[in-house]
């Protein structure tokens, strides 16, 4: 048991039912995570960069798949209805998607960055509004997992020259 789990378990209130918002937070996180898995499977068909492919596989194995399983188990236990989602994309052979229809490696990286940002945003919003300790811990763990993966992806994007930098702030500059 890690320190955070120990602290939470020591102050845990008796199990209270989820409020409507908490049920929605779990449902929304599940939908976004399944969509993230589908995006990863799609991007694996588009990217040719070996490091990006490796990152996407790591993201699937370390975040998407375990989070989907945990959220689905929680939804079953709590009686939250499942949405109808496409959960699997088939793998294509390299070069099977024509150049005009294929995402570039840089575009694939930015799609992953956007999905990570959205998943982190949902975790943070849910974490700040949940009342149950077990759900707070769940969203805290997800946020930590996603933050770690975000740092890995940012370093990869930086090495490849894919990071986009905003213009420098120059308030005295003429407009």
Which pLDDT band holds residue 85 (cuts at 50, 70, 90)?
confident
The pLDDT of residue 3 is 59
| 19 Cα distance to chain centroid | 24
In the DSSP assignment, the letter for residue 161 is: T
Distance CA 46, CA 99 (A): 9
Asked if residue 10 has pLDDT above 80, the reply is: no
Phi-psi region of 84 (alpha: psi -120 to 50; beta: other; left: phi over 0): beta
Q: Integer distance in angstroms from the first to the last C-alpha of the chain? A: 56
Q: For the chain, which residues make up each domain, given as ranges? A: 20-81+101-160
Return the number of other C-beta atoms located less than 10 Å from residue 103's C-beta.
16
CATH architecture of 20-81+101-160: Up-down Bundle (1.20)
Length of the chain: 175
Closest C-alpha to 69, from 29, 41, 40? 29
Distance CA 25, CA 167 (A): 35
Closest C-alpha to 37, from 72, 64, 68? 64
The model's pTM = 0.85
Instruction: Summarize pLDDT for 87-130 with one digit per residue, the tens.
Output: 788 888 777 888 888 999 999 999 999 999 999 999 999 999 99
The pLDDT of residue 93 is 79
Report DSSP letters for 32-80, one per residue: HHHHHHHHHHHHHHH---HHHHHHHHHHIIIIIHHHHHHHHHHHHHHTP
> Average pLDDT, stretch 145-151?
96
């Amino acid at each position: 048991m890690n320190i955070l789990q120990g602290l939470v378990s020591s102050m845990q209130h008796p199990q209270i039912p989820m409020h409507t918002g908490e049920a929605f937070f779990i449902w929304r996180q599940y939908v976004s995570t399944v969509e993230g898995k589908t995006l990863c499977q799609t991007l694996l068909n588009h990217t040719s960069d070996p490091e990006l492919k490796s990152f996407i596989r790591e993201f699937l194995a370390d975040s998407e798949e375990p989070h989907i399983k945990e959220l689905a188990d929680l939804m079953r236990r709590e009686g939250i209805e499942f949405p109808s989602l496409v959960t699997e994309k088939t793998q294509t052979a390299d070069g099977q998607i024509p150049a005009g229809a294929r995402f570039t490696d840089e575009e694939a990286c930015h799609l992953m960055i956007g999905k990570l940002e959205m998943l982190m945003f949902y975790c943070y919003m849910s974490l700040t509004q949940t009342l149950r300790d077990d759900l707070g811990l769940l969203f805290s763990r997800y946020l930590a997992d996603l933050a770690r993966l975000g740092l890995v992806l940012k370093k990869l994007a930086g090495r490849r020259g894919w990071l986009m930098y905003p213009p420098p702030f120059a308030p005295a500059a003429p407009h």
